[in-house]
Amino acid sequence: MAQENAAGEATRPAENGTFDAVVIGAGFAGLYMLHRLRGLGFTAQVYEAGSGVGGTWYWNRYPGARCDVESLQYSFSFSEELDQEWNWSEKYSPQPEILAYANHIADRFDLRGQIVFDTRVTAATFNEDTDTWLIETDRGDRVTAKFCIMAVGCLSAPNRPAFQGKSDFRGPIYHTGEWPHEGVDFGGLRVGVIGTGSSAIQSIPMIAQQAVQLTVFQRTATWSVPAWNEALSAEYLKDAKAHYPALRAKARARPTGFYFPFNIQPALQASSEEREQQYEAAWRRGGLPFLGAYGDLLFDKSANDTIAEFARQKIRDIVKNPTTAELLCPHNVFGCKRLCVDTNYFETYNLPHVKLVDVSKTPIERFTKDGIVVDGTEYMVDAIVSATGFAAMTGSFDKIKITGRSGRTLAEKWSGGPRAYLGLASEGFPNLFMITGPGSPSVLASMIQAIEQHVDWLADCLGHMRDVAANSIEPLRENEDAWVAHVNDVSMVSLRSTCSSWYVGANIPGRPRVFMPYIGGFPVYVQKCNEVMNSAYDGFVLKGARSNNAPPRVRFTERWHVPLDIEVISPAAVAAKRVPVV
């Protein structure tokens, strides 16, 4: 039956096909998964809610959006030809270029034909008789697949706080994570930005260039380090490409999955003068590597206090109005929430038309037709930018009714926080996989590396299941419980577990407080995944296999056999948990 969209126009007919695999999402994870599935000869279909590929980079088109892991590393590594032929224009490339890269991947690897756009998966239901998933969409599709692969993204479900009086506001309200494709002209407008996380940090300096008045509503002051972004010259690229495989290998051996200079020395072993010099040099390098100034900054509070004070002083040096400067100075652990990387963020508060409103003690009261009320004062704005982030890690899972064995839903199972073995699969949900799921390094690593490693592992797993004619695979409860406990346990070593970040779900009222990503370091995690594979899926049950214990034919995972770079493991962290802790 032909479907109609909201405008009543006829659209494509609903589908009832059968596939080996259905992949949900066409960001980098969905694209690479499809590429691997095709390479293995599996039939596959990808459903994507957006009208194009790219995921994050399709949706987040706000002014100033760019990556904060250097582009040469924030990119796929599975094809040396791809590495050699693609040219990044900047150290941290802007959103349009990253989106162009995603489109290039789709075209170069001929993926578009198997992606169904403008279609949101609404339900996935496991059939225990056939060991298959029924996948349903908002366009009436009802397709069956042996494997259901969640490539739905960790930061893809926008958080829209329920501000009172929202519908009274006469102007437009934009969310950074769903930015209009045609762009927004803030010329001549009074703009209010809510939030001071990474999206706000990037967009505020750009919006300030257009708006006649900009009011920023800040709940928690944010730590941010200058990007010192720059164009990449042809000579630089040539040289980098000549050494690309070595860079990729070094990156994989790092706890964060990307390479940067790292000083293993504990901060307090240095004199205060040495520390000052070290921090100054790291500040000059800028970006996330600033946290590599010393080895113990994220698990020794006294060490952290030293980098925090250095960064506060930088804010005081930059921001001329002392009251504004103090408001902008964070007092939580440095790097506890995701560290921001900016271009002229703090400098923007020196502009006469930019105002900072503290909503930490007196929250936003309500929207009115003309503005935003805080503590009885109405701030007049013509447009509002909600830079309020995402229901991280599990938000896009929550929007799909996923029903596993015995009619149990994933939402029921995860009501106390997500539970997954290695962040790859969850007991009770056979043949359902997640790419960068909770309990994997995901958002604590350079995500494209994390995605690639998961996809390669999954591709090998699916290939193995076909080799041994297995009907289903599912983690064992005890292994899943042990892994979830380990993820939680390791997180306690890190100061990152101490603040109300989206890593612990604390940005959304009512969410269980659980540290969701795996903080024990990318190589340690990769090693664990490899061990599981090499032991013919220890911790998983394969049903119907000709031989459960046949060693898998490893096709892709081999390239993830990387040694941990022991030079970056802090001795104290090792002593505590025998993992590097990122």
Here's the x/- map for ligand FAD, 194-223, by CB under 6 A: it reads as -----x------------------------
Here's the x/- map for ligand FAD, 446-465, by CB under 6 A: it reads as xx---x--------------
In the list 42, 259, 367, 502, the residue contacting ligand NAP (rule: CB under 6 A) is: 502
**Cα–Cα distance, 242 to 80 (Å, whole number):** 11
Which of ligand FAD, ligand NAP, none is residue 30 near (CB under 5 to 8 Å by kind)? ligand FAD
Strand pairing class (121-127; 132-137) = antiparallel
For position 47 contacting ligand FAD by CB under 6 A, the verdict is yes
Q: Are 462 and 556 in contact (CB under 8 A)?
A: no
Which one of the spans 35-43, 154-162, 310-318, 410-418 is the region binding ligand FAD (CB under 6 A)?
Answer: 154-162
For position 65 contacting ligand FAD by CB under 6 A, the verdict is yes
Which of ligand NAP, ligand FAD, none is residue 152 near (CB under 5 to 8 Å by kind)? ligand FAD
C-alpha angle 289-156-74 in degrees, rounded to nearest 5: 35
Q: Burial letters for 18-52: b for 16+ Cβ neighbours within 10 Å, e otherwise? A: ebbbbbbbbbbbbbbbbbbbbebebebbbbbbbeb
Which of ligand FAD, ligand NAP, none is residue 191 near (CB under 5 to 8 Å by kind)? none
Strand pairing class (142-150; 132-137) = antiparallel
Tokens, residue 575: 């002593």
Shortest Cβ distance from residue 152 to ligand FAD (Å)? 4
Binding residues for ligand FAD, rule CB under 6 A, total: 37
**Cα–Cα distance, 231 to 92 (Å, whole number):** 9
Would you list the DSSP string of 97-139? HHHHHHHHHHHHTT-GGGEE-S--EEEEEEETTTTEEEEEETT
Measured from the CB atom, is 222 or 530 closer to ligand NAP? 222
For 243-358, where are the alpha helices, taking DSSP H only?
A: 244-252, 272-285, 301-318, 322-328, 345-348
**Cα–Cα distance, 460 to 146 (Å, whole number):** 16
Shortest Cβ distance from residue 521 to ligand NAP (Å)? 18
For position 436 contacting ligand FAD by CB under 6 A, the verdict is yes
In the list 69, 267, 282, 459, the residue contacting ligand FAD (rule: CB under 6 A) is: 69
At 419, the amino acid letter reads R
- Residues between 306 and 345 that touch ligand NAP (CB under 6 A): 338, 341
Which one of the spans 46-54, 125-133, 540-548, 568-576 is the region binding ligand FAD (CB under 6 A)?
Answer: 46-54
Residues 6 or more apart in contact with residue 502 via CB below 8 angstroms = 337, 338, 389, 390, 392, 393, 508
Which one of the spans 68-76, 180-188, 270-278, 378-386 is the region binding ligand FAD (CB under 6 A)?
Answer: 68-76
Helix, strand, coil tally for the chain in percent (to 5):
35, 20, 45
DSSP state for residue 43 in the 8-state scheme:
-
Measured from the CB atom, is 133 or 290 closer to ligand NAP? 290
- Residues between 189 and 218 that touch ligand NAP (CB under 6 A): 194-200, 202, 217
- Give the footprint of ligand NAP on this chain (CB under 6 A): 67-68, 155, 161, 176, 194-200, 202, 217, 219-220, 338, 341, 359, 364, 387-390, 443, 502, 507
- Give the footprint of ligand FAD on this chain (CB under 6 A): 24-30, 47-50, 55-56, 58, 60, 65, 67-69, 74, 120-121, 151-156, 199, 396, 399-400, 435-436, 446-447, 451
